[in-house]
Amino acid sequence: MNNPKEVTRILFENFHPQAIHLFYAFGYASIAVFIYGCYVQIRKYRRGKPDGSWGELLHRFIDMVKTMATHRTLVRRDKSAGRAHGLIFLGFVLLFIGTSTITLEYDIIEPLIGVRFWYGNFYLWFSLVLDLAGLGLIGGLIYMMYRRKWLHLPKLDYKRVDRQLGGADIDRSEYRREDWAFLWSFILIGVTGFILEATRLVWLSGRPSVWDYRIWSPVGALIAHIMKFVGFTPEGAGTLRLGLWWFHGLLSLTFIAFIPYTKIKHIFTAAASLMFKDPLAGRRLPRVPDEQKVAGYKTITDLTWKNLLHLDACTKCGRCQEACPANAVGAPLSPRDVILSLREFANHTLNAKELPKEAELDIHGKDIGQVFMETLWSCRTCLACVEICPVAIEHVPIIVQMRRNLVEAGEMDPLLEKTLQTIHKTGNSFGESKRKRASWVKELPFRIKDARLEPVDFLWFVGDYASFDPRNQKVTQGFARLMKKAGVDFGLLFEGELNAGNDVRRVGEEGLYEYLATANIQSLDDCQFKSIVTTDPHSYNTIRNEYPDFGGTYEIQHYSTVVKKLIEDGRLPLAKKLNYKVTFHDPCHLGRFNKGYDAPRDILKMLGCELVEMGRTKDNSFCCGAGGGRIWIPDPVGIEKPSQNRMKEAAVIEGLQIFVVSCPKDLTMFEDALKTSGYEGKFIVRELIELIDECMEYDFPEKEIAEEKMVVETHSVI
């Protein structure tokens, strides 16, 4: 090797001192613009409400680094885009580290203490790694350009679904221009960097300490050989290098300066959004602080600093819109548009030096940047948007907070308002007397314990639909038979049970939810039991994830987990095997909310069914449309329902016999959709409990039946 200290790259060779000073002046100016932009952004976040997401910072940071390093949230359901973005991200990080390393030596360490390290073998490996990083960066950017221009993906179309044509803020062409400016500027930085490297090699081709080591810059070396082949001389390359050096340098400095003001800032806001994410976002909604006078979000300053950060983290990728069931059936809702509208509104109002008047901060309404009431009420709160978002934006909690304000103002569908009044009056959404909650028990040939009067192993929280809906009552009775057959010690709250409140809370009626939750917790605390079991995933979610905030912490299981273990333990022997071809629908509140994917599928296999999955399944399951209180709100005439959309998906499975569900609301929604979508007679909808019940042989003793029926009748009189 030549003198190792000569094997390096001279940064400012042949530059006049004035030119170097001018470059540094541009550099400091770009840094100043960058710092001011960061100040404006931080000032904006500080104008939001406090948020309690500061705990376990080290754990959060490590998890964020893992997520960004693996790109696990980006490769899901779009591997090509995820891998291309991974190349861009890795290339950017390595090139940033490389530039920082050069700055560290040239501007800090060498001037201060006279130490150099950027030469010899370190420099050669440094050069090779950065060449490969730059190549990956350009490759990823080219794919993203191809994807955006030629694949015509609907999720990359910024056409708004919540605005009418001709509206003042329907045009999103500015976003398209920003996207292309970002891609072109980034790729120009990469390409000019390689050409600049090639011109340096040609210019200094007479120096062995440069030309002999060109293989360590493979991309630049290839371009250098092409330049020499087409006739470039060292003098010509030197002249080209000078102009190209300034173009590349100024473009890079401009890129840095514009980071806080453009899409480029997602490099930092996305990382921060991932770091401060709530693992229970949407599963556990926040309480209304006692000091808060108005429920929910009315103005942009009601959002927390983390909400405002989420708005800036959005990259407009459209994955949330693609997964949204409301959007899929033509409702005026795109989760992305909600986030972008709020971001535009925040940038317009909160970036100003002085805050506008409170009336100008209202985020509800029909003006530019405001979110329509119809948009908010279209949401099913199914968490499909939150689950797929690669940067952990919490769409549903924001939407529910805005709904809380609408509910307080009385701006809701009249039928929904009536239902909420009914729940407050009777404790259930059917308007039935509390004493009728367990009337389905009378049809059973055995007694079910009252858990308020005697200890039980399992307290069964039944839920409204499973208690009052005639079709679901048959399923409820089937589960009771299974528990009795297995010899499980279980009981009910009878009229002591109220609506669990899960959907009431997601509607936005927080006051009613707290009343229901507190009353149910009091009833549960007065009982002696080991575990709660429920056949209702909606009740399962709120008792598991939200009741602890009100002092009610219990072990709770969905029935599928309990029944699976009973079958495995031999306590529920299967008298026969079924030979049905089935598909299974994951309920949002069991699957996506609480990761309960396996038990229902394991049971179907135990029963001997042939399970064929639909295209959208497990964490990508498609909502039935009942969530978020939408089961109490009539759908517009002529619009397809999510449940009908799901029926079409199931109908393409050749030879399908049974569409299996494990949620009372799913049973109601899909049996109705089967009729209205035109597939009645092609397959049927059944609850998983009904299939298990079909495999059972019951032999309840006649004497026991007579005695227990007498107890049941006595209980009903009391």
C-beta atoms surrounding 636 within 10 Å:
13
CA 110 to chain centroid: 47
Do 250 and 336 fall within a single domain? Answer: no
Mean pLDDT of 416-423: 96
Same domain assignment for residues 316 and 380 = yes
- pLDDT higher than threshold 80 for residue 580: yes
User: In this structure, are 563 and 583 located in the same domain?
Assistant: yes
Residue 306, pLDDT score = 96
Check which CATH number belongs to the domain holding 200 and give it: 1.20.950
- pLDDT category at 11 given cuts 50, 70, 90 is confident
Residue 709 pLDDT: 47
The pLDDT value recorded for residue 702 is: 54
pLDDT in the model for residue 402: 97
Beta-carbon contacts of 176 under 8 Å, excluding residues fewer than 6 positions away, are 158
For residue 346, pLDDT beyond 70:
yes
Are 297 and 251 within one domain?
Answer: no
Which pLDDT belongs to residue 1?
Answer: 60
Give the structural domain span for 300: 286-408
- Residue 465 confidence (pLDDT): 96
Confidence band, pLDDT 50/70/90 cuts, at residue 163? confident
Amino acid at 68: M
Q: Picking from 75-79, 468-472, 639-643, which range would have the lowest pLDDT averaged per residue?
A: 75-79
Check whether residue 83 and residue 33 sit in a common domain: yes
258-267 pLDDT per residue, tens: 999 999 999 9
Q: Who contacts 75 (Cβ-Cβ below 8 Å, separation ≥6)? A: 82, 83, 86
CB crowding 85-114: b at 16 or more within 10 Å, else e: bbbbbbbbebbeebeeeeeebeeeeeeeee
* Mean pLDDT, residues 635-655: 93
- Averaged pLDDT of the chain: 92
What sign has the CA pseudo-torsion 339, 343, 344, 349?
positive
Same domain, 497 and 534: yes
**Strand-pair category, 531-534 with 458-461:** parallel
Q: In which band, very low, low, confident or very high, does the pLDDT at 168 lie, cut at 50, 70 and 90?
A: low
Residue 294: pLDDT band with limits 50, 70, 90: confident
Read off the pLDDT of each residue in 561-576 and give the average, rounded to a whole number: 96
As a three-state string, the secondary structure of 244-285 is: HHHHHHHHHHHHHHCHHHCHHHHHHHHHHHHHCCCCCECCEC
Structure tokens, 708: 């227990």
pLDDT the model gives residue 52: 83
Tell me the pLDDT tens digit for each residue of 120-138: 888 899 999 999 999 999 9
For residues 622 and 513, membership in a common domain is answered with yes
My answer on whether 440 and 508 are in the same domain is yes
Q: How far is CA 468 from CA 438, 477, 596, 598, 677, in A?
A: 8, 12, 25, 29, 26
In a domain, 271, yes or no: no
What percentage of the chain has pLDDT greater than the value 70? Answer: 97
How many of the other CB atoms lie within 10 Å of CB of 519? 16
Does residue 192 have a pLDDT over 70?
yes
User: To which H or E segment does residue 584 belong?
Assistant: strand 581-584
Decide if pLDDT at 713 tops 80: no
Segment 198-207 shows an average pLDDT of 91
Q: Is residue 251 part of a domain?
A: yes
Residue 718: the pLDDT is: 39
6 pLDDT tier (thresholds 50, 70, 90): confident
Do 602 and 583 lie in one domain? The reply is yes
Residues 343 and 427 in one domain: no
DSSP conformation class of 219: H
Q: What is the dihedral of CA 43, 45, 49, 51, to 10 degrees?
A: -130
Single out the residue of 196, 267, 260, 280 nearest to residue 32, CA to CA: 260
Query: Which 8-state DSSP code applies to residue 109?
Result: I
Does residue 276 fall inside a structural domain?
Answer: no
The count of domains in the chain is 3
For 385-399, the pLDDT digits (tens) are: 999 999 999 999 999
The answer on 335 and 370 residing in a single domain is yes
Residue at a domain's end among 367, 390, 408? 408
Check whether 690 has a pLDDT greater than 90: yes
Q: Please state the rounded mean pLDDT for residues 605-609.
A: 96
pLDDT at 676 over 80: yes
Q: Please say if the pLDDT value at position 706 is more than 70.
A: no
Confidence of residue 217 (pLDDT cuts 50, 70, 90): very high
Which of 363, 389, 408 terminates a domain? The answer is 408
With respect to residue 530, please indicate whether it lies within any of the assigned structural domains: yes
Q: Are 485 and 697 in contact (CB under 8 A)?
A: no
CA 272 to chain centre: 15
User: Where residue 378 sits, what CATH number does that domain have?
Assistant: 1.10.1060.10
Contact 590, 662 (CB under 8 A): yes
pLDDT score of 703 more than 80: no
In a domain, 267, yes or no: no
In a domain, 44, yes or no: no
* pLDDT score recorded for residue 716: 42
Reported as a single tens digit per residue, the pLDDT across 524-534 is 999 999 999 99
Is residue 107 very low, low, confident or very high in pLDDT (cuts 50, 70, 90)? confident
Answer yes or no: do 550 and 694 share one domain: yes
Specify the pTM.
Answer: 0.91
Helix (H) or strand (E) holding 459: strand 458-461
Indicate whether 456 pLDDT > 80.
yes
Is it the case that residue 468 has pLDDT exceeding 50?
yes
Among residues of the chain, what percentage have pLDDT more than 90? 78
- What was the pLDDT predicted at 66? 94
Q: Could you tell me the maximum CA-CA distance found in the chain, to the nearest angstrom?
A: 109
Q: For the residues 487-502, what does the mean pLDDT come to?
A: 96
In a domain, 272, yes or no: no
Domain assignment present for residue 522? The answer is yes
Of 408, 440, 471, the residue at which a domain comes to its end is 408
Kindly state the tokens that stand for 711.
């107890």
